[in-house]
Amino acid sequence: MTKTLLITGGCGFIGANFVHRILRQYPDYRVINLDKLTYAGNPANLADIADDERYRFVHGDIADVATVEPLVAEADCIINFAAESHVDRSILGSADFLHTNVNGTYVLLDAARRHGIERFHHISTDEVYGSIAEGHWDESFPLEPRNPYAATKASAELLVRAFHLSHGIPTVVTRASNNIGPYQYPEKRVPLYVTNAIDDKPLPVYGDGLQVRDHLYVDDHCSAIDLVLHKGTIGEVYNVGGQNDVTGIDVAHAILRQLGKPEALIQFVEDRSGHDLRYALDSSKIKALGWTPLVGVDEAMERTIQWYVDHQDWWRAIRDRDDYKAYYERQYGDRLK
Ligand code: NAD
Ligand code: DAU
């Protein structure tokens, strides 16, 4: 059946992987990609499908009502990936996070209220729960975000919930763990470490490197979104985690091992302020819906590292930009001295 999906933030890491998946899996679907092309938005991520007649790119801001209104009127479903997504940047300054993650989500919800929509799928994160020393969060745990990025993602979720309950918007929410894979902007740990290691630059490990994250291969996240978009129960929230606990220091070692680089590249640096100790999701609910992650944690890491080895033009174009260099200096200049 033909459907028009309004995908926001499709030029970013996960959004681009999801656009690829939709065009591959659903020959009858049309995709409108609304993206502001912030520092993290990269048209090169979708260069291979740019001329596909089922695909349309709109350059614009999800917080701009005039841009959003006609696109929502045209769409059957909205999948909202657009966000400011980097914790360290949210600690340096939070205004863009409030603008996009909170106000932008509100503008999309309000347009959905006016025009009616089959489904509003909001992409959220495990960070909304805060930090958990032991055990796993299921979807009934309270939202206790601990950094500005996470607080704006939790705020967006509360708006999604309120618009579902007050206005009957048919919403679903997925909360995923740390994605790795192709097209991730090299400010996030894994692509930062891989690209630094290739160039024999230091790998900055915050604090003692014992914080735990749950790595999820991006294709497995996209298959989960696909499933919930089509089969998830309206009004529900679904955790999407790989249950693959990895520490920072293990990640650094794995990357250096695969690239044949020396451990001396590891540098312990000043910790992230308010650094969350551990994220860990219980994903039984989405598994009961039929989701099975296909890529194990070791293979996910190997494939990801190899992608950056094979796509050096892609990331060197980003790392050569003045805005990347300025951010790197601001974030690591003092830490790595
Ligand atoms: P990203 O930073 O790589 O991409 C974000 C995209 O949104 C970019 O293309 C950017 O240009 C676009 N964008 C930003 N502000 C916009 C605006 N106002 N209007 C339109 N477009 C805008 O992010 P990502 O890592 O791909 O994350 C995508 C979504 O998934 C986010 O909502 C994030 O919170 C969530 N998430 C990410 C992870 C992860 O590990 N990366 C895990 C769980 C959830
Ligand atoms: O868990 C889901 C979240 O994962 C998403 O919602 C976010 O959008 C995404 O950015 C990611 O957040 P993290 O803060 O967990 O990812 P990041 O890659 O920034 O950091 C991963 C871990 O590595 C974290 O413990 C901090 C540490 N780290 C990070 C960087 C950039 C370092 O030790 N050194 C670094 O230079």
CB of 193 within 8 A of CB of 251?
yes
What's the burial of 44, exposed, middle or buried (CB within 10 Å: 0-12/13-18/19+)?
Answer: middle
Map out the domains of the chain with their CATH numbers.
3-179+215-240 (3.40.50.720), 184-213+244-278+296-332 (3.90.25.10)
What is the tens place of the pLDDT at every residue in 262-276?
A: 999 999 999 999 999
Q: Is 84 helix (H, G, I), strand (E, B) or coil?
A: coil
Q: Which atom of ligand 1 is nearest to the CA of 39?
A: 11
Continuous segment of H or E residues that includes residue 213? strand 212-217
Contact 10, 16 (CB under 8 A): yes
DSSP assignment, residue 233? Answer: P
Q: What is the pLDDT of residue 317?
A: 98
- Catalytic-labelled residue, pool 55, 106, 129, 149: 149
pLDDT confidence of residue 218: 98
Going from the Cα of 313 to the center of ligand 1, the distance in angstroms, rounded, reads: 22
Q: What is the pLDDT of residue 1?
A: 80
- What does R_g of the chain's alpha carbons equal in angstroms? 19
Burial class from Cβ neighbours inside 10 Å (0-12, 13-18, 19+) for residue 247 reads middle
Residue 243: the pLDDT is: 84
Report CA(11)–ligand 1 centroid distance (Å).
9
Does the annotation mark 276 as catalytic?
Answer: no
Positive or negative: CA dihedral 176, 242, 278, 92: negative
Q: How far apart are CA 15 and CA 82, in angstroms?
A: 8
Q: Is the CB of 268 under 6 A from ligand 2?
A: no
How far apart, in whole angstroms, are the C-alpha atoms of residue 331 and residue 77?
A: 38
For residue 188, the CA-to-ligand 2 centroid distance in Å is 6
Mean pLDDT for back-to-back runs of 10 residues, the chain (337 residues): 96 98 98 98 98 98 98 98 98 98 98 97 98 97 98 98 98 98 98 98 98 97 98 98 93 98 98 97 98 96 98 98 98 91
Contacts of the segment 199-204: beta carbons below 8 A, 24+ positions apart: 200/261, 200/265, 201/265, 202/265, 202/266, 202/267, 202/336, 203/252, 203/255, 203/256, 203/265, 203/266, 203/267, 204/267, 204/269, 204/332, 204/335, 204/336
